[in-house]
Amino acid sequence: MLPYAEPYRIKMIEPMIPSERSQREQWIGDARYNLFKLKSQQVFIDLLTDSGTGAMSQEQWSAMMSGDESYAGSRSFEAMKETVSELTGYPHVLPTHQGRAAENVLFSVLVKQGDVVPGNAHFDTTKGHIEFRKAKAVDCTVDEAHDTSAYHPFKGNLDMKKLENVFQTHGKDRIPLIMVTLTCNSIGGQPVSLENLKAVRELADRYGATVIFDAARFAENAYFIKTREEGYADRSIREIVLEMFSCADGMTMSSKKDGIVNIGGFIALNSESLYREASMFNILFEGYLTYGGMTGRDMAALAQGLKEATSWNYLESRVRQVAYLGEQLKSKGIPVQEPFGGHAIFVDAKRFLPDVPVEEYVAQTLALELYLESGVRAVEIGTLLADRDPETRENRHPSLEMVRLTIPRRVYTRNHMDYVAAALGNIFDRRSLITSGYRITYEPPLMRHFTVELEKVGGNVQ
């Protein structure tokens, strides 16, 4: 078998800026040991997020040049709507400026105080928009999702017993929708099987409930169904995508992920009456129905991006690049979450740095070591992100302290993956010398990870 190769070549380059460790020490100190506060020129390889960081194709760039900026009835909106309807089967499409805006518009119609929204580990903004309306998000993900060492091909699946239980406990009148996230970002880009989606549909039909997909990474989810689920190996990605969406009544989308564009989102729906109700909020919050916070050229690029994201060649190289990095780390003995997710590799920081106390932010300590070692920027998914308990104000220590290496779409090459793996390998070799972490000197009352300031506890051998 031949190794995979990126199915594109580079036409325009963006220089990356190498730096010395002494410079990085200065910069990260100035940034108060918060990786979000670095300037992008101070970062060599940026694995902070895959959101809006992808590279567009020549076809997308040329679509941008012919974008139609008409306020109403834009041809670019029609192109985007046509692609979305063709892929999903949903006839009604509302553009929004990004994914969270789609949530805001749709939940303005569906979710009210006292409601319960079950799902599989809701994304932060989804949960935020539910809780903002004084409703509750209930996580029904299978138990295997929370065990990095357990193998399960579809760790994003909903546990049908837990879901049924939510309906039994609260009654269907308090459950405006079931939200299924594809792939499940919050637990590491883990997919949901078609078998599970069909079971959710069946349960929803029994209770007369609505199913909405948070579909940011729907194409990556389809790739995993094709490659892991029995009976789908010979089906095309497009066929699988259509079958997935047939299990829901509609979707919210962050186009910054599998739309392969830098900004944008949308809602797509089966029901005309729901579309009409949502339209009012779309005009109020986002913009008129045929642009909703997007420019014509952005919608044109999105129409093309969605087509590319659902092609086998693209998806195979995308997911295999992520897995390639995972394999490189694994071969060095570095503890990583398995199976590998679709958009990121998660390094288990507690197992990597067992001598750093969790009170000293062990995942952040590892992410900072990686930056100092190599200029690679990753992101902490641990105690800093989990924030404090709103009542006791004590730190919430999640069971897993992770460093997420998030791979932007079509941006980096295999050499870059090798560089990241080598940098983490160097740190792994001297891990016994790393025995202390950081303490907080400033934090805001909420969402602290973006603006928190830290200082070294001391004792780190550099």
Ligand X SMILES: *Cc1c(COP(=O)(O)O)cnc(C)c1O
By C-beta, is 4 or 285 nearer to ligand X? 285
Is 421 designated active site?
no
Residue spans of alpha helices (H) in 34-110: 58-65, 75-88, 99-110
The conformation of residue 432, written as its DSSP 8-state character, comes to G
**Min CB(52)–ligand X separation in Å:** 7
Based on the residue annotation, tell me whether 257 is a catalytic residue of this protein.
yes
Kindly list the residues in this chain that would bind ligand X in the complex (CB under 6 A): 51, 98-100, 123, 125-126, 181, 185, 214, 216, 254, 256-257, 265
The least distance separating ligand X from the CB of residue 215, rounded to whole angstroms, comes to: 8
- Going by C-alpha positions, the residue among 216, 245, 204, 223 that lies closest to residue 89 is 245
Please give the residue whose beta carbon sits closest to ligand X in the complex: 99
Give CA torsion, residues 61, 65, 67, 71, to 10 deg: 130
Residue with token string 């070294």: 456
- Of the two residues 34 and 120, which places its CB atom closer to ligand X in the complex? 120
Least distance to ligand X, CB of residue 316, Å: 21
- Cβ(48)–Cβ(406) under 8 Å? yes
Query: Parallel, antiparallel, or unpaired for β 344-348 and 453-456?
Result: unpaired
Active-site option among 50, 214, 249, 258:
214
Least Å from the CB of residue 2 to ligand X: 32
Closer to ligand X at the Cβ: 52 or 425?
52
Q: Give how far Cα 138 sits from Cα of 63, 200, 340, Å.
A: 41, 15, 25
Comparing CA positions, the residue from 291, 296, 238 lying closest to residue 266 is: 291
Q: Which two tokens stand for residue 186?
A: 């919050």
> What are the CA-CA distances from residue 88 to residues 25, 182, 192, 268, 277 (Å)?
48, 14, 17, 8, 21
For ligand X, which is the closer residue by CB, 201 or 217? 217
Q: What is the DSSP string of 227-249?
A: HHSTT-TTS-HHHHHHHHHTTSS
Q: Give the other-Cβ count within 10 Å of 124's Cβ.
A: 12
Angle between helix 237-245 and 75-88 (nearest 10): 90
Q: Residue 47: what are its φ and ψ, rounded to 5°?
A: -115, 30
Q: Which is nearer to ligand X, 241 or 421 (CB)?
A: 241
Please say which residue, 53 or 271, places its beta carbon nearer to ligand X.
53
Task: For the CB of residue 421, give the shortest distance to ligand X in the complex, in Å.
Answer: 25
Closer CB to ligand X, 381 or 424, in the complex: 381
Catalytic status, residue 224: no
User: 148 or 255: whose CB is closer to ligand X?
Assistant: 255
> What is the distance between the alpha carbons of residues 15 and 270, in angstroms, rounded to a whole number?
45
Q: Is-catalytic flag, 124?
A: yes
Q: How many residues does this entry show for the chain?
A: 462
The one catalytic residue among 30, 112, 124, 147: 124
Q: Is 50 a catalytic residue?
A: no
* Active-site choice (97, 256, 257, 416): 257
Q: Are 454 and 442 contacting, i.e. CB atoms less than 8 angstroms apart?
A: no
Write down the catalytic residue from 77, 123, 232, 266.
123
- Active-site position among 216, 219, 309, 344: 216
Determine the Cα–Cα distance for residues 201 and 217; give it in Å rounded to an integer.
20
Q: Is 71 a catalytic residue?
A: yes
CB 227 to ligand X: min, Å: 21
Contact 186, 122 (CB under 8 A): yes
Q: State which residue, 83 or 254, has the beta carbon closest to ligand X.
A: 254
* Long-range contacts at 454-461 (CB < 8 A, ≥ 24 apart): 454/32, 454/33, 454/34, 454/361, 454/364, 455/32, 455/33, 456/33, 457/360, 459/435, 460/433, 460/434, 460/435, 460/436, 461/430, 461/433, 461/434
In angstroms, give the least distance from the CB of 201 to ligand X. Answer: 20
216 is catalytic: yes
Closest contact distance (angstroms) between CB of 96 and ligand X is 9
Residue 101 beta carbon to ligand X: minimum distance, rounded to whole angstroms: 7
Active-site residue set: 71, 123-124, 214, 216, 257, 449
